[in-house]
Amino acid sequence: MIALNQRLKIEQNLILRRKLFAKIVQFSFEELKEYLSETLGSAFVKLDAEMEETHLPRSELVSDSDGSLSREIISCLPLARLDDTTGSVAEFLAFNLDNNGHLLVTVEEVEQRFNVEREVVYKAIQALKDIGPEGVLLGTVTGFGDNAAYVQPDIVIDVKNDEFVVEVKEIDIAHYLSWKPAQRGMLAFLCDAVEKRQRLLKLLGWKIVEFNTDFLLNLMKYPRRVKMKSIAKETNLSISTVSRAVCGKYAATPRGIYSLKSFFGRGYERSLLLEAVASILKEHPNWTDLRIASELSKEGICVARRTVNKYRRIVERVRKSEKSGTVLER
């Protein structure tokens, strides 16, 4: 039998490797390149510099459509269904966020301004966390305002000779047999983890093609989203691993650079639905929710009538506020 100490050591090693694999999957290409170069030395990390030439952009400044985290959250506050007092507090808090999600006022200041109990402020804060992007109030939100950054896509999807081509930026690690025996085990693991990451990203690229051919060819206005659960089942990986592969990564497509979150996840992105419903209401303000849902389905967005109604109320509330000239004080 394996001694207890030895078994614990093996289990500890497995846990560390699982954590390392999760980190490698979550890294973007640039982050992975930097991590491996620092860990192994740049002489032992070879980048794939021979990807086929393409007219698609290799990098692009990616930011929110209107550059404002505050506006994004305020437009979605009706989904939280807060009472009037808490809603006013939440709106004030949202307006006093910077584009990284830092709160620019203290809880005490909000208490005094609205003459409310602390519990009301905390309830409003929780509402912002529920409806806002990941990292709100932690100061780790990215992609808004001046803090938007150039991104380099991990996946390139192009059309060549009337056929789709999917490429993934690759990193090769120098053959581990040239290393000392004591180092080979971990190096072999790193090589395998990097290769699995690349295979997973390539699969994600082909899934984008499979489910969004019409979108990529500009025959459909909005992309369809594939459930991560189905990807996890197909790859025999956990949903959390697939989620890490999607998070923070981008694909260059014939229609521009898109976040992988645009193509994978449950339902549809909030900003996409708001844009779609607002666009229809601008041209047809008297259409029923059912008719709007039917029109959205023609664009590849299949949502229930009640979902349309939720976003319709958001759009109408924002427009009413704009017409009345409501100005929030920072």
**Is 80 exceeded by the pLDDT of residue 127?**
yes
Q: Are 52 and 156 in contact (CB under 8 A)?
A: no
Phi, psi of 150 (to 5 degrees): -70, 135
Average pLDDT, the chain: 79
Helix (H), strand (E), coil (C) string for 4-25:
HHHHHHHHHHHHHHHHHHHHHH
233-271 per-position pLDDT tens digit = 998 988 888 988 998 889 999 988 888 988 998 766 666
What span, in angstroms and rounded, lies between the C-alpha atoms of 61 and 40? 31
Residue 67 has pLDDT above 60, yes or no: no
- In this structure, are residues 173 and 44 in contact, taking their beta carbons and an 8 Å threshold? yes
pTM flag (> 0.85): no
Q: In this model, does residue 226 exceed pLDDT 50?
A: yes
Decide if 262 contacts 251 (C-beta within 8 A): no
CA dist., res. 129 & res. 123, Å (int): 10
Query: What tokens does 82 get?
Result: 């807060």
State the pLDDT at residue 111: 92
Res 306 pLDDT > 50? yes
Task: Give yes or no for a contact between 36 and 190, defined as CB atoms under 8 angstroms apart.
Answer: yes
Measuring CA to CA, which residue among 112, 207, 193, 110 is closest to residue 155? Answer: 207
Distance CA 214, CA 221 (A): 9
The mean pLDDT value for 169-195 works out to 74
Read off the pLDDT band of 324 (50, 70, 90).
low
Q: Provide the b/e sequence for 117-138 (b: ≥16 CB within 10 Å).
A: eeebbebbbebbeebbbeebbe
Q: For position 97, what pLDDT does the model report? A: 86
- Stretch among 20-29, 32-41, 212-221, 267-276 having the lowest mean pLDDT: 267-276
Residue range 92-102: mean pLDDT, rounded: 85
Q: Which of 90-104, 261-275, 287-301 has the lowest mean pLDDT?
A: 261-275
Strands 163-168 and 171-173: unpaired
β-partners of residue 103 are: 97
Backbone angles phi, psi at 56, to 5 degrees: -75, 150
Q: Which helix (H) or strand (E) holds 313?
A: helix 305-324
Q: Which residue has the tokens 């380099």?
A: 152
pLDDT value, residue 117 = 94
**Cβ–Cβ under 8 Å, residues 200 and 237:** yes
